Structure 1
Amino acid sequence: MPKSVYLAGPEVFLPNAREILDLKIALTREAGLVPVSPGDLEFPRTNSRWELGLAISAIDEQLMHSADAIIANLTPFRGIAADTGTCFELGFMCAQNKPAFAYTNVRADHGERTRAHFGGESYADAEGKPRGPDHILIEDLGFVDNLMMHGGVVNRGGEVVVGDAPAGQELTDMTAFKRVLAVAARALAG
């Protein structure tokens, strides 16, 4: 029986979200996996935006409980780091010790992106640790994002695929997604 994979990422916020989600769903099926997409949920009727947010959160958690594994899109979203909702979802699945896989469409690692955020300005403190002009440590370990996300994937036997999408296509390019799908399909087949 094919394994189900929760597809986490910020695509639900895109103006062409349905098109992108449908493409990811089709590619997941082609890879021999069963897609579980938060973009497929039906929004329940609620009395307020607050209640709607809580309902969506609860439904997403049910979807994650139903999935065998996760593929998380860790492409930077609205800043230097991955979408915070995707980060929660990856952590939620890792806490259940489910297989985790991830990808990013940006080649620059977290440390490089942090330095770029400061216009390249950084310094080494007395211990040789990199710090930004705000004097806060720059996590510079070569990971695609915070060490807990990258480490969460690797520590569960998964892989983080690094792509290099053309500018403006970082959230829609499917090259790295196809590569991580192949990795996940092989790993979950055994």
Structure 2
Amino acid sequence: MPEQQQPDSESKPVKLTWRQMLFHFALLCICVVLGIFAWYLSRPQSIRFHETKTHEYLTVSVTPEIEISLDQSSLCAVTDYEPLRIEMFRGNVYFDIKKKQPEDFRIKVGETLIEDLGTRFSVRMQKDGTHIISVGQGQVKVHVATGTHLISALEQADFNDFNISKHRMISARDVAPWHSDQKVPY
């Protein structure tokens, strides 16, 4: 039969010094704080991308009150959480908002933020870095580096990340000439 081992009478119990105790406590606190950050601060990002190819058009109901129509070769991203955010990457997008949104609804084009105060407008991104906003109904606030500008119904303006230029009056047909509802037979 194997012999049972007797505890070594010369072995000493493990003693923790205050420094060791403080070090382990600090590690525990760091782990707890990181766990809390991971739990509360990291909500899952839910983003839908909408893209059209050449000679392709797309109309999407983002919410029951908001429809967006993408022209050919357009790309935008829409968040699924509140407040609703839309970011345009390329192409032309027509926004049809059936009623005023109570929450903070914004569209990002480059570094420019567009805040909806109206119901129908379009944004056209151009390759040279300038963009065109055309308002069919209501009003739109455009936040650029030089300040905030208000574009009203049947007005159009060119903008980039820094300023707005060529603010002019337009006809309803010029708001989104590519949009199916706007096309008028010749």
> Larger relative contact order (C-alpha < 8 A, sep ≥ 6)?
1
* Greater helix content: 1
- Compare the two structures and name the one with the higher strand fraction: 2
TM-score range normalised by the length of the shorter chain: under 0.3
TM-score by length of structure 1 reads 0.26
Q: Which has the larger radius of gyration?
A: 2
Could you tell me the TM-score, scaled by structure 2's length? 0.27
